[in-house]
Each structure stands twice: as structure tokens, then as C-alpha cells.
């Protein structure tokens, strides 16, 4: 598929409709719209229970493609079943299977079935819309939650390490370790980058894309700033954009200089408890990781 270079080249495919009962500024619904623009109408969506489960509530059907809702733990197994059925019907080259699941269903509860499917090499694209928490059940910490963030299970307290005490799981690195053809990160702030990666993924399955989904409700920022927050995450180095294509690592967006991490933290309620010393500590960690990534030393960096 051809690379999209400008917004004018984005396919005019309206495969979603409005009216879904999601939060204002929801990045997950925006990401699904981008995904279907990139992949086209011959797409089958597998949805693990999460925020996007609320998107399809009977009798409202906001997508113009098939949608399978399954439990939070078995999206990978469901995709395997659909792939097996398409192979049996000799139609596996006619449709693209897209798993669209949150980080709770990906990093944590659904990891086993995802890993199994990737180990088998079943042909589908797995997109994690990553809002860095169990968003649908009250913004609890997931293993995608960044260090220092306040969630309902890592609340602000009086201890030195108030908020989340752990760095997030290196999920993209774990997926790459399965030896699959294509893995990448993406952000709602850079939709053309995301759609081009989806097109690469379509040609190189199985594939895994971890797309940052800034959540106004869970992160505590103005709903009109979703795209802006997605850009700031990349521009500060909090969420680098890269891909691993058949084992070859490359940054797909390389700012000439990183903006201060405080620019990203300031608009978000979940980071407002951090003092200057803690922000400085996080800034140093990000700078160190960015140096490794920009030097091509991906396997030495911690996501």
C-alpha cells in the first residue's frame, strides 16, 4: 500500500458514525476512525472488553464493518479463531483482522492469549489503544501506567514515591521478542504516522502497534487537548515513535531537541503532585533513554 504523505492523501472512507456514548475527547474512538481509514472496509474488528466496549451499545452500531466483542482476557484467542475460519473458507487474503484493545486487556489480563497468538504467527493486526490505566473501571493502575502517575490504586499520599512507583512494562520490546514481522509505537497526535504504520502492518502480519491514547477523563486535562497531548508526549520523549520492521529498529519521528517533560506534565492532573526534584529525576531518566534510542541502541533502552 502507498505511503500517505499529507492529510489530503488520507482515504475518504467514512467507516464510523457519530453518536457513540464515550467521553468527550475520547482518543480511542479517534484511533479507530484512523485505523479504518488506513485499512479499509474489508476489516473485521475484535474488541476486548474496555472503554471501547461502550462504543457499541445495542441497538447503536457505529462501525460499518463487522465487530466482535469478547472478554478482556481473550482477544488474541478470538483473533486466532477468526483467522482459522477465514483460512478454512479460503478467504484469509480477503479481510484484515484488527484487534483493538486497551492496555489493561493487552499488558495485563489479556497478555497470555496475545503472546500465544503471536508465538503461533496467526495473521492479524493487534492495536493497543493505550490510555495507561484500566480506564473503563475507574482509572486503576495498569502495567502501562508511567512512573509517578496518580491513579485510583496508586493515589497521591505522603510517601516519597507518591503515585505509581514502577516504570511501565516494555510491551513493544516483548512483542518484538516474539520474532513477529512488525511492531511499532504510534500516537493520536501524529495520525499520518499511525496510518502508515497500520498499512505496513497489513502487509506484514502478525503485527503489534502500541498507540498512545491521551485520556482526558483519566489524565485530567481539557477534552479539547487530546491531540495536543499526543503531540507533547512525543515531543518531550515521554512516548517515542519508532518501528521494528523485520528486526530493523528506526525512529519514525526525531525532534531536533526534546521539550521539557514538565510541558507534558503541567496540563495533567495525574502528575500535579510531583515536586521539582521528582520531575528532574524523571527528566534525567527520559534523557538517558532518548540518548540510547537516538543512538540506535533500542535493546539497551527501557521503554
Q: Report d(CA 172, CA 273) in Å as an integer.
A: 29
- Confidence check: pLDDT of 247 > 70: yes
> Is residue 1, in this structure, part of any structural domain at all?
no
pTM of the model: 0.96
Range(s) of the domain holding residue 277? 7-300
Question: How many beta carbons lie within 10 A of that of residue 175, not counting itself?
Answer: 25
Residue 170: inside a domain? yes
Q: Where are the alpha helices (DSSP H) in 204-275?
A: 216-219, 226-235, 261-265
Residue 248 lies in a domain: yes
Looking at the predicted structure, is the pLDDT value of residue 220 above 90? yes
24-39 confidence digits (pLDDT tens):
999 999 999 999 999 9
64: alpha, beta or left? (left if phi > 0; alpha if psi -120 to 50): alpha
Tell me 10's DSSP state: S
Q: Going along the chain, which residue ranges are E strands?
A: 43-48, 67-70, 96-102, 125-130, 182-187, 207-212, 242-245, 248-251
Q: Is residue 133 in some structural domain?
A: yes
pLDDT at residue 89 in the model: 94
**pLDDT at position 161:** 57
Q: What is the DSSP letter of 63?
A: B
The answer as to whether 23 is a domain residue is: yes
Residue 107 lies in a domain: yes
Q: Look at residue 158 in the predicted model and tell me its pLDDT.
A: 65
In a domain, 18, yes or no: yes
- Does 293 fall in a domain? yes
What digits encode the pLDDT tens for the residues 157-175? Answer: 766 557 999 999 999 999 9
> What confidence tier does 222 reach under pLDDT thresholds 50, 70, 90?
very high
Domain total in the chain: 1
Lowest-confidence segment of 23-37, 52-66, 139-153, 259-273 by average pLDDT? 52-66
CATH of the domain at 291: 3.40.50.970
Give residue-wise pLDDT tens across range 109-130: 999 999 999 999 999 999 999 9
Amino acid at each position: 500500500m502507498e505511503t500517505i504523505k499529507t492529510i489530503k492523501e488520507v482515504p475518504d472512507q467514512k467507516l464510523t458514525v457519530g453518536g457513540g456514548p464515550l467521553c468527550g475527547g475520547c482518543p480511542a474512538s479517534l484511533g479507530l476512525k484512523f485505523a479504518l481509514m488506513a485499512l479499509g472496509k474489508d476489516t473485521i474488528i475484535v474488541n476486548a472488553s474496555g472503554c471501547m466496549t461502550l462504543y457499541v451499545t445495542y441497538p447503536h452500531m457505529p462501525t460499518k464493518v463487522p465487530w466482535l466483542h469478547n472478554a478482556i482476557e481473550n482477544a488474541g484467542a478470538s483473533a486466532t479463531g477468526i483467522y482459522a475460519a477465514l483460512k478454512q473458507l479460503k478467504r484469509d487474503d480477503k479481510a484484515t483482522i484488527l484487534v483493538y484493545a486497551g492496555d489493561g486487556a493487552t499488558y495485563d489480563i489479556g497478555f497470555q492469549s496475545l503472546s500465544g497468538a503471536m508465538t503461533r504467527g496467526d495473521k492479524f493486526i493487534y492495536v493497543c489503544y493505550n490510555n495507561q490505566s484500566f480506564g473503563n473501571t475507574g482509572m486503576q493502575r495498569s502495567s502501562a501506567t508511567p512512573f509517578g502517575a496518580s491513579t485510583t490504586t496508586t493515589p497521591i499520599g505522603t510517601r516519597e514515591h507518591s503515585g505509581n512507583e514502577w516504570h511501565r512494562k516494555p510491551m513493544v520490546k516483548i512483542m518484538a521478542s516474539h520474532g513477529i514481522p512488525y511492531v511499532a509505537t504510534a500516537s493520536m497526535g501524529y495520525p499520518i504516522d499511525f496510518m502508515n504504520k497500520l498499512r505496513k502492518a497489513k502487509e506484514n502480519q502478525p503485527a503489534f502497534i502500541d498507540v498512545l491514547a491521551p485520556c482526558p477523563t483519566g489524565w485530567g486535562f481539557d477534552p479539547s487537548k487530546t491531540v495536543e497531548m499526543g503531540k507533547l508526549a512525543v515531543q518531550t520523549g515521554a512516548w517515542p515513535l519508532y518501528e521494528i520492521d523485520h528486526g530493523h529498529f528506526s525512529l519514525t519521528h526525531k525532534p531536533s531537541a526534546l521539550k521539557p517533560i514538565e510541558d507534558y506534565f503541567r496540563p495533567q492532573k495525574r502528575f500535579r503532585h510531583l515536586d521539582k526534584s521528582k520531575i528532574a529525576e524523571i527528566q534525567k531518566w527520559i534523557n538517558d533513554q532518548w540518548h540510547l534510542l537516538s543512538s540506535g541502541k533500542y535493546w539497551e533502552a527501557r521503554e
